[in-house]
Structure 1
């Protein structure tokens, strides 16, 4: 009965979208939708359908088709060309995107090699002796996520592959693991000076020392700090609420790590082929080589070996290329290591390559559709529309500007699924408005933009980091989206209040010290979670 009701709801939602598009045919022209609110309609359609139907592939594709129809003025030929030539084929021809896909495939192969060699199982046994509680397993996951701050893509997949066996042993749901991975990916990278994110932000600043500005924004990046603090509060209070509470309760009481009938990953691929147990070194060598090689690969692309300093090399690095080079070298090292130790034969190693690719196919498909959807919004002029809206609101509301920029960045990143795209739109506007006039407001507004972009990206079902957090945890993607949303909104609400307070205090001349709002926000967050704990929250044993 429930399945029939869900099917009816999904069909009704798709029918409403079709009716909306039919109505839009008579209300718009190809020219009138450019650089207007219509540019945000395709991602809104995709996100709404995904949340209602709980089916991400068709929802994303219908969002892409919506963009194609609006762009072409409902021309059949024009829509096909725009969707496939300007959309899917174009994003799969982009060097950055192809690099990320290659990195995904290589990492998938390495995960399979570690599983086949028994390294993952050996690490799980070792961790089981040293990590004795659910809280300890969650803290270990958080610490590992914070330590891998080089790049969010690298973080999502590496933390998942290392910690999945540990959290499974302690009956932590895959949805909770996905949240911990996601919450230590972008939120950590955005406050880490040595990361691909610091390089990206620095690149969007013209006429200023981008890295210097980035360092000054860290104390004002309230959402990143509150998200990290929230994970620790949840563990300390043994608290889960919203849909996550059901997933955690099922994991503890029923040993059901997924809750829903749908499963992610293929458990048959987790089975070691060796007759004798693996060793922890079979996990450590591939992971350590991956970390080292990826760091070297990134600074190599930033001309570190041509004389640039380490910081400048990171600021100028190409994360996509660097991760591909580093992960490939690490893969070769791992293959050689296993074969020299007679852990796996050459044929067994080669069997892991297509299996690793197969495991990453769902993430690759969702990423391709998400990138294509972004191409639709770009072609419709979403950047220009948002830029004009922000500029028009930059006068007369100075004290409210960090608060407003935070909200705008959240909405834009949620709708487009990209933090970096949001940086590219908003940071140049903020710099142009405040450069040379109000340095404190420049730093505060840049921080609000960065924090809002990370927040929107964090909870967006079409975000690449959200997608890869699901892949890393082998969690059903929409389960991850649903379960982490209440947590993201809680941290976002407290962050918005902190930006409102900071703006008022700075403009009124009381103080421009970020730690006043930071510590005040942490206190509010703790009180809110304590209130939830005493009310509807569910404690995990």
Structure 2
């Protein structure tokens, strides 16, 4: 796989612009030809997979997730109707930008970015990092500390990806840990941990989805969700694997091995690092005593977690309350003026623009895939092979592939659950086990996909590109997926 990636990268568009132009023209002609052979009676069938496969291929060559997604969206729109590509593109963009989930993501991530910049500029984040340095005595301890902090911050994967990385990366830099390994540990305690704790945004969303699809009576969705937690195999396996990595019991493979060698030689930052992380927005620190600085960091974090829980696991409300209190705290202490803090919040939004654009492009690709019927096609192909014993394993594999290809760890299941549930009932499968497989697939897809929100934000917080993060963690998520598949087969025949 590594040799294939090297070969693809050798024909990088920046190195060979003529090849890039020819490939673009050939792709347009190919997808245009598909539109001429389309029959509404037959549907798109396997052709519905082509835009997503095209995105994956372009991303491996260019290592630019946003641009790859945009190309895939346009390719899909050409398939659907080449004469209305511009109109369809603007309509899709407008629809996605007006989506409640996207608005929530933009506000949450932007405000979280603003909060982190305030923590940086006030010097509080630096105080917390210095405190950690005084207590962490080895590289192994720095990795295990990152792991355990990630377990504690279980409310939301966005909070995990952005807050944990900001608090520990100076410590891991000190012990020559690559930013790619930091991103892997953070990402592995984000979505995998969130599905296993019933007090998280994931639990709230999916328990509501279970009620909507008659898998639970009104008000009982969370109880059904909790009953499936023991069967959310990928979450448990991913946490076990990342613990082995953090403790040093599982070594470095492939791209991660190279990244760690580079870090050990004094360069924690990857070669493709562009400097657009939080520390770039806040290069200077205010001097405060270590104790006061610690309090000024810990209090906003506790308020953020507490307010999020108070408002029924709504991270947006939690971060708004936290920002309001933090701004007041820093102003009254004379750490930062109101003007500096408002500028800092806007700087945080600016830092988050590229990762947010990638997430938005992912939602646009999902919209195109929905119109092509990709999810329905994949599930329908596998449905005849479903038996009560094999269904959990097949559901895990199929939905993991769907989420990996669309980056929609939540949206895909709105389409898939109404299809999967009748099949599960028809073959008399264990419903708690099937729900566990569905949540495991959602967690894996969010964890592994190079343009998923979790992956992009983990990379952004740690300070590396999404592609570098995705490629370095690929061996570990693959190990987790294979082990989970085997366990689902065993559970299917034993539970």
Q: Distance in 1 between matches of 2:62 and 2:283?
A: 33
Q: Distance in 2 between matches of 1:14 and 1:421?
A: 34
Q: 1:58 to 1:454 in 2, by over 3 A?
A: same
Q: Is residue 408 from structure 1 mapped to residue 428 from structure 2 by the alignment?
A: no
Q: Is residue 96 from structure 1 mapped to residue 86 from structure 2 by the alignment?
A: no
Q: 1:15 to 1:443 in 2, by over 3 A?
A: farther
1:399 aligns to what SS in structure 2? coil
User: Cα distance, 1:178 vs. partner?
Assistant: 0.9
RMSD: 2.5
Q: 1:27 to 1:428 in 2, by over 3 A?
A: closer
User: Cα distance, 1:289 vs. partner?
Assistant: 1.5
User: Cα distance, 1:341 vs. partner?
Assistant: 1.2
Q: Distance in 2 between matches of 1:287 and 1:9?
A: 48
User: Cα distance, 1:11 vs. partner?
Assistant: 6.3
Structure-1 residue corresponding to 2:3: none
Q: 1:124 to 1:433 in 2, by over 3 A?
A: same
Q: 1:267 to 1:213 in 2, by over 3 A?
A: closer
User: Cα distance, 1:266 vs. partner?
Assistant: 6.1
Q: 1:282 to 1:63 in 2, by over 3 A?
A: same
Structure-2 residue corresponding to 1:441: 430
1:469 aligned to which of 438, 449, 458: 458
Structure 2 unpaired stretches of 5+? 1-5
Q: Distance in 2 between matches of 1:376 and 1:349?
A: 40
Q: Is residue 137 from structure 1 mapped to residue 142 from structure 2 by the alignment?
A: yes
Q: Across the two proteins, how many residue pairs are aligned to each other? A: 477
The C-alpha deviation readout for 1:443-494, integer Å capped at 9, x for no partner, is: 2222222212221221111211111111221221211111111111111111
Q: Distance in 2 between matches of 1:398 and 1:383?
A: 21
Q: Is residue 367 from structure 1 mapped to residue 379 from structure 2 by the alignment?
A: no
Q: Is residue 284 from structure 1 mapped to residue 298 from structure 2 by the alignment?
A: yes
Q: Distance in 1 between matches of 2:223 and 2:204?
A: 11
Structure 1 unpaired stretches of 5+? 300-313, 315-321, 507-511, 513-541
Q: Which moves more between the two structures, 271-280 or 192-201?
A: 271-280
User: Cα distance, 1:111 vs. partner?
Assistant: 0.8
Output the TM-score relative to the length of structure 1: 0.82
The C-alpha deviation readout for 1:177-234, integer Å capped at 9, x for no partner, is: 1111111111111111111211222223233333233222222222111110001111
Given that 1:108 and 1:360 are in contact with CA atoms closer than 8 Å, whether structure 2 keeps it comes out as yes
The C-alpha deviation readout for 1:262-281, integer Å capped at 9, x for no partner, is: 44426443333525566111
Q: Is residue 126 from structure 1 mapped to residue 140 from structure 2 by the alignment?
A: no
Q: Is residue 344 from structure 1 mapped to residue 336 from structure 2 by the alignment?
A: yes
Structure-2 residue corresponding to 1:162: 167
1:200 aligned to which of 192, 198, 205: 205
Q: Is residue 171 from structure 1 mapped to residue 176 from structure 2 by the alignment?
A: yes
Output the TM-score relative to the length of structure 2: 0.90
1:254 aligns to what SS in structure 2? coil
User: Cα distance, 1:335 vs. partner?
Assistant: 0.3
1:482 aligned to which of 460, 468, 471: 471
1:6 aligned to which of 7, 12, 35: 12
Q: Distance in 2 between matches of 1:15 and 1:374?
A: 27
Q: Distance in 2 between matches of 1:26 and 1:97?
A: 33
Q: Which moves more between the two structures, 161-170 or 29-38?
A: 29-38
User: Cα distance, 1:436 vs. partner?
Assistant: 8.8
User: Cα distance, 1:428 vs. partner?
Assistant: 3.1
Structure-2 residue corresponding to 1:37: 46
